[in-house]
Amino acid sequence: MNKPTNNIVRFKYSYILCLSLFFTHLSYVVAQDDLNRQLILVRPYEPSVTDAQKISTLPNLRDSFNIKPAFEYSIQSKRIDTRFDVTPIAPARMQPLPQTKLYHAYIKLGAGTLPNTLAELALNTVRNKDYAAGALFKYDAARGKVKLDNDERVFAGYSDVSGKIFGQKFFHGATLYGELGASGQTAYNYGYDTNTLDDAGERLDTVFNKGDIRKNYFFADANIGIRSSHFKTEQLNYDVKLGYKYAHNHLDDIYLPHYKSPDFTNNPNGYAKFNENAINLKAQLDNNMFGGNFNFDLYTRSAAFDSLRNNFAVELNPWFMLDNDSIRLQVGMRVAAYREGDGNMQYGIFPKMEFQFTLLKDIFIPFVGIDGYLRPNTYRDIVRENPFITPGLSVPISKTKLQIYAGLKGTITNKLSYYFRADFSTSEKEHFFVNDTSYSRMQNYFTVVTDEMNTFSIKGELYFNPIESLDFGVKANWYKYQPSNERFAWHKPEHTVEFLAKYNLRNKIIVSIDVMSIGKRYARAFYYPNPALDPQPEPEEPDVEPEQFNNFYTLKSVVDFRLGLEYRYTKSLSFFVKLNNLSGAKYARWNFYPSQRFNAMAGFTYSL
C-alpha cells in the first residue's frame, strides 16, 4: 500500500521541478530581447509642471479679544527643624620662624707670611628680652720689612690692640645703652727721602733704629645713651648720647728740643706727654614729620703742642619732612657756632634740603639736595687717617660751606639695585698731608696744610645677586679737586674703584674676590740743594727735571687683587686663607712709604 503512494509523490515533485526550469529559461530569453532595444528621442524633455508662484505675504494673527489670567495665592511658611551636633575645631597654630642659633663666644686666629698675626675674641649674651651685653678684643700685628728706593730693607711693622665692652637694657618704649673701650696703636715711621742731602751737599746715609721711629698711641672712650623703641613712626622718637674720648701720645727725648716750652711736661723717663680730651653730646628728635638734631663738641689739648688748646663747636639742625608714596621732601637748616683756641667766636648757617620723587615704584627714584656742615678734626681722627703724622699735630675745624648733589637710585628687581650721585662742594680749611721738613730732615713725618677747595665728584654703586649663592658689587668714585692756593690736593686720589664678588657653595665653601683700584695722587716735594752748586732755595719753573726738583711727586695708580677662601667644616669650626696683593704691585699709600707686596694669611674660626 505504501509503495504506490510514494511513487505518486515522487512524480509530483518531478513535474513541478521541470515546470520551474521552463519558465526560468523563458524569462531570461525575454530579458535578453529587452536589452537589445534602441530608444530614439525626437525632442527635448518638457516637464509637465509649470513654475510655482510664491506668496510673499506672511500670515498675521490679530486677536481682538485678550484674556489676562489673574492668580491669587498665598505661602504659609513653616520652619523645618534640623538637628546636628557641633564638633569643636582645634585652632590653627602659627609656627614660629626658625631662628639662627647664637653662640656665647667667637674666636678667630690667623698667621701670615710677613710675618703677621691676628687674634679676635668676641663674647656676648644670647637672646634675652631684658638685656644684651658683650665684649670684643682684637690683636693685629706685623713685623715685615719693605724695600725703599735705595734698595734698603727697613722695618715696617705695626701693632693694633683694642678691646671694648658694651651692654643694653630694654625698657618699655626705651633702650638704655653704653660702651667702654680702649685701644693701643704702634706705628713706625720707616719711610724717608733717600735723596736727602746734608749741609755739605752729600747724600745722607741713614738707617733708623726701631726705637727711634716708633710711636705709641693710646685711645680710650666711653659712651652712654638712651633711645626710644616705638613701633609707630608717628610717635616721638628720640636718641640722646653722651661720649668721652681720650687720646695720648708721647715723644722720646730725641725729639724734645722741638717742643721746649715752660708748659711742657717732662718726667724722669725721658719723654713728654701729649693728651687730648674730647666730649661729645648728641641728641635727635623726630616723629617722621618734623624733628631736629643737636651736636656739641669740646676738646682740649696739651698746651706745649698746640696753640689751639680749647676748641668747641655746637650745631643745631631743625627740619620738616613731607613723605608719602611718591614724594619725599625734607627742608631744614644747620645753625653752627664754633671757636678755635683763643680766637673769636664764628658762626655759620647752612641750608639742608632734599627732594626725591618716584617715577616708577622702587625702580626709578631721582633726588636732589643741598647741605653744609662743620667737621671737627680730633687727634684720634687724624691718626686713624694717617698714623705717620708729627706727634701732637693739630688740625683746625673744616667747614663745608655748600654741597649740592643730585642722583638716581632704585631697585630694578630683588636681584639688582643701583645708586648714582654727582656732587659739587666748596669748603674751607680742607687739610692735606705733606712731608714735615721742620720736624725731621729725612721727611719721614707728616704735617698738614689747609686750603679752600672746590670739589666735583661722581659716585656710583651697583649690587647684583643673580642667584642665592652668588653676589656681585661695584663701587666707584671719581674726583676733580680745585684748591685755591695749593697746586694739587696732596695725597687725594683721582678715583677709587672696588669690585667685590662672593660665591657660597652650599654654605660649605665660600670664595671671595676683592679688586681695589686707587688712582693717581700727588705729593708736595721738598729738597735740600747743595749750597755750593745751587744757591736757589727752589726752582721757579715747576717743570725742571729731575722730578724731585719740581714742587711735587707723582704717586702712580695701582690695582690690588685679593682672594679669600673659607671652608666651613661644621657650623662652629671653619678654616680660611687670604691672599693679598696677588699681582705683587709696588705702590705707596703715602709719599716715601711703600706698602707690603704679596702676602698671605691662614687661620681658623671657632664658635662655642
What average pLDDT score do residues 61-88 get? Answer: 74
Better pLDDT: 21 or 181? 181
Grid coordinates representing 311 are: 676748641
Least confident window among 3-17, 259-273, 366-380: 259-273
Q: If pLDDT is split at 50, 70 and 90, which confidence band does 244 have?
A: very high
pLDDT of residue 416: 94
What pLDDT is attached to residue 325?
83
Contacts of 163 (CB under 8 A, 6+ apart): 135, 136, 137, 138, 181, 182, 183
More confident residue, 328 or 5: 328
CA dihedral 398, 399, 402, 403 (to 10 degrees): 40
**Structure confidence by residue, pLDDT tens digits, 78-134:** 777 777 777 888 887 777 777 778 889 999 999 999 999 999 999 999 989 999 999
Q: How many CB atoms lie within 10 A of CB 347?
A: 8
Mean of pLDDT values over 154-183: 95
pLDDT at 365: 94
The closest alpha carbon to 208, from 218, 222, 194, 197, belongs to 194
Q: Give the CA distances from residue 310 to residues 247, 265, 340, in Å, rounded to whole numbers and listed in that order.
A: 15, 18, 7
> Can you give the C-alpha Rg of the chain in angstroms?
48
| pLDDT for 536 | 40
Mean pLDDT, residues 365-382 taken together: 92
Is residue 158 scored above 70 in pLDDT?
A: yes
How many CA atoms does the CB half-sphere of 195 hold within 13 Å?
12
Residue 181 β-bridge partners: 164, 221
- Is residue 112 within 8 Å of residue 601, measured between CB atoms? yes
Query: Which of 218-227, 414-423, 499-508, 534-543 has the lowest average pLDDT?
Result: 534-543
Name, of 69-78, 255-264, 381-390, the range with top average pLDDT. Answer: 381-390
Secondary structure E strands in 189-269: 214-228, 237-252
Q: What are phi and psi of 210, to 5 degrees?
A: -60, -35
pTM confidence score? 0.78
Q: What is the secondary structure of 487-547 as a DSSP string?
A: SS-TT--SEEEEEEEEEEETTTEEEEEEEEEE--EEEE------TTT---SS-S-TT-SSG
Enumerate the β-bridge partners of residue 154: 146
208: closest CA among 249, 156, 159?
Answer: 156
Q: Above 90 in pLDDT, residue 405?
A: yes
Amino acid identity, position 342: D
Q: Please report the pLDDT score of residue 15 as a whole number.
A: 62
pLDDT of amino acid 603: 97
Residue 262 banded pLDDT, cuts 50, 70, 90: very low
CA distance 453 to 422: 17
Q: Note the pLDDT of residue 130.
A: 92
**Which of these, 508, 586, 219, lies nearest to 381 by C-alpha position?**
219
Mean pLDDT of 336-358: 90
Mean pLDDT to the nearest integer, 565-570: 95
SS (H, E, C) 382-427: HHHHCCCECCCCCCCCEEEEEEEEEEEEEEEECCEEEEEEEEEEEE
What 8-state DSSP symbol labels residue 360? B
Least confident of 302-311, 360-369, 544-553: 544-553
Q: In the structure, what pLDDT confidence band is assigned to residue 202 with cuts at 50, 70 and 90? A: confident
- Is the confidence at residue 301, as pLDDT, over 70? yes
- Res 51: pLDDT: 58
Under 8 Å between Cβ of 142 and 111: no
Per-residue pLDDT, averaged over 411-430, amounts to 94
pLDDT in tens, 489-503: 999 999 999 999 999
Mean pLDDT of the chain: 83
In this prediction, residues 312-339 reach a mean pLDDT of 92
pLDDT at 79: 76
pLDDT for res 542: 42
47 cis-preceded (ω within 30 degrees of 0)? no
Among 132-136, 344-348, 415-419, which stretch is predicted with the lowest mean pLDDT? 344-348
